[in-house]
Structure 1
């Protein structure tokens, strides 16, 4: 693991067995800004020479310990980044999740990568694997497209590559959203979240997962027009086509269900994004993209029921073995000494 500058101190994390590092960032008009890097206190016994940086989605933070377990079982050093104004990085004086440009996250991505030993201009013989969920699955491919040669592969878990109303609906909404962003960037849009997704994943309801409701509230946050305009700009860039030239794995549920009313289908489908609309954008990411769809998967496919997760783990393991940690080629068989004088026919 790369050396950490002496002024940076890893502290015990809220998750047992993990530790966190605060990454100071440039202040903005709301004051102090930080991001938070999280890793296991003690790396696993095997090391495949790969570092992974995980980035969460909207109204989320890193709490998926089982995902870290999977990759560390493959010998991959797992790190997660709580972006500014999310999770561990959210401060009382801040508007949760607020940015007006997704490129703003370049600052914490670079700070985290520097700690991992993958800073810009740095030299390392370790591979870099990026993994993003939902909005993180939009932010990371945009970053990789602008920074070719930095990452060796990407895994995108239900990436938010297109708006739920698809292209035409997005273009209709874009004008009013941008107009509101220009005059009141931090005003609040209508919140359509009825808490159905939280009901499917939280152990307090019908799910099996524990997380901090302060950092992932059941009814979400009210989005701001400046943030949504930034997301729309990201969607448009994907629609025009990215040029990522490293392997990409996209994980999606097989189906989506609009969360207009509660139904049992919400427990077996993506109730956040429009799966068909996302699928249309997947080929726009780059030159080598693998799409894996899972019947019965939730929006975050890694939070689906155990049988579905087992399928997800198998596909990730197979893809990682093919594109990230392939076995070294077998050495050529040693030729007998007399072949130097009498070559084989």
Structure 2
């Protein structure tokens, strides 16, 4: 039976705690997810930059992308300064949740993550039983997803709209890099591969350019664990890629979200086989024009922001770009997340 253990100190230091979430075993054995929370230390609460009215009464859940995990301290602090309670989820077989016996990042259906998300939400006070019985936490839920996490959360939100107040997507992987025609062409081959040998290793496609742009060991500014976020990413497998393409197909058909969605993207992509200095100010993972077009299929209220100079993870971009992204979130939150009258805090 899925469940969770108590809170313990997290690797990110002061203000951060983690909680192991025990999930149902799969064909590789024991499985866990890891929930991280941030509580602002008392001295930071005296900051002149606090804007607690913006996200007062809101709980935020962040989900990372492929070959990734949560390490962005500044992102948690930003939401805390807006008045939100911030949580981040390392999904099964990623980051804090990855175990030696597991195939990193592997699932063959994105709905598998429903269990990870539900156990995390139960800890946060947003479980389905609370909602159904009227004991529901009066705080509102905002979902934040980066890249593959953005795809996963968009699909989950479409199935659970009455539990979500808003969706913030950071370069969400909503469409295949070769766009719709490329996706339709490759899908039958991937489906066949997933039936024959779902964990077969596919040719590597990550040339390490994104890592070069973000890691402090290269041209970037950020420190993180290469065991959890490898130079060339995790190996790719047909079963996993088939799950991604199914997710893309669902978005293409239209998710009909009624909740407001904010999509943050770089102004441009640079998808080349050799390093180019423009990669320091571009998305090197996705075709952002294709993603911007596909984001319109999310639902009825979609805001798309294109940020000049942004990287694939907008919040790992240079400071000026991050500042513009934060300003866009504040503007969007004030417009779409304003607390209803007499809402419980």
TM surpasses 0.5:
yes
Please name the residue that 1:11 is paired with: 8
What's 1:37 paired with?
Answer: 35
Structure 2 counterpart of 1:288: 301
Mind listing any 5+ residue stretches in structure 2 that lack a counterpart? 46-51, 131-135
2:95 aligned with 1:82? no
- 4+ runs deviating over 4 angstroms: 41-47, 326-329
Contact between 2:260 and 2:336, CA under 8 Å: does it hold in 1? yes
Shift of 1:221: 1.3
Distance, in Å, in 2 between the alignment partners of 1:328 and 1:119 is 24
1:327 and 1:127 mapped to 2: Cα distance?
Answer: 10
Deviations along 1:216-270, whole A, 9 cap, x unmatched?
A: 0111111110000000000000000011101110000000010311001111110
In structure 2, the partner of 1:332 is none
Task: Provide the rounded CA distance (Å) in 1 between the counterparts of 2:340 and 2:194.
Answer: 51
Which whole-Å CA distance do the structure 1 matches of 2:215 and 2:40 have between them? 28
Distance (whole Å) between structure 2 residues aligned to residue 36 and residue 268 of structure 1: 31
Shift of 1:318: 1.0
* C-alpha displacement of 1:103: 0.2
2:182 matches 1:169: yes
Deviation string for 1:147-171 (max 9, x for gaps)? 1201110000000000000011111
2:323 is matched with 310
Q: 2:252 aligns with which of 234, 239, 245?
A: 239
CA–CA separation in structure 2 for the residues paired with 1:98 and 1:59: 10
Listed one character per residue, the Cα deviations across residues 174-199 of structure 1 (whole Å, up to 9, x for unaligned) are: 11111111011111111111111000
Are 1:207 and 2:205 matched, yes or no? no
Find the residue that maps to 1:308 and give its secondary structure. Answer: helix
Q: Is the 8 A contact 1:82 1:89 kept in 2?
A: yes
Counterpart of 1:338 in structure 2 is none
Secondary structure of 1:233's match?
A: helix
- Rg larger for: 1
Does structure 2 conserve the Cα–Cα contact (< 8 Å) formed by 1:238 and 1:284? yes
- What's 1:54 paired with? 62
Distance 1:126 1:166, change over 3 A: same
Task: Tell me the equivalent position of 2:23.
Answer: 25
TM-score (norm 2): 0.91
- After TM superposition, the structure 1 = structure 2 runs for residues 1-345 of structure 1, keeping only pairs within 5 Å, are 8-17=5-14, 18-42=16-40, 45=45, 48-122=56-130, 123-325=136-338
| 3-state SS, counterpart of residue 161 of structure 2 | coil
- 1:56–1:81 Cα contact (<8 Å) kept: yes
Which stretch shifts more, 37-46 or 6-15?
37-46
Q: Secondary structure at the match of 1:292?
A: strand
Query: CA–CA distance in 1 between the matches of 2:272 and 2:90?
Result: 27
Q: Is the 8 A contact 2:4 2:21 kept in 1?
A: no
Deviation at 1:299, TM superposition (A): 0.4
SS state at 1:121 partner: helix
Partner of 2:133: none
SS in 2 for 1:209: coil
C-alpha distance 237-7 of structure 1, shift in aligned 2 (>3 A): closer
How many residues of Structure 1 are paired with residues of Structure 2 in the alignment?
325
Say whether the 8 Å CA contact 1:252–1:292 is kept in structure 2: yes
Paired position in structure 2 for 1:333: none
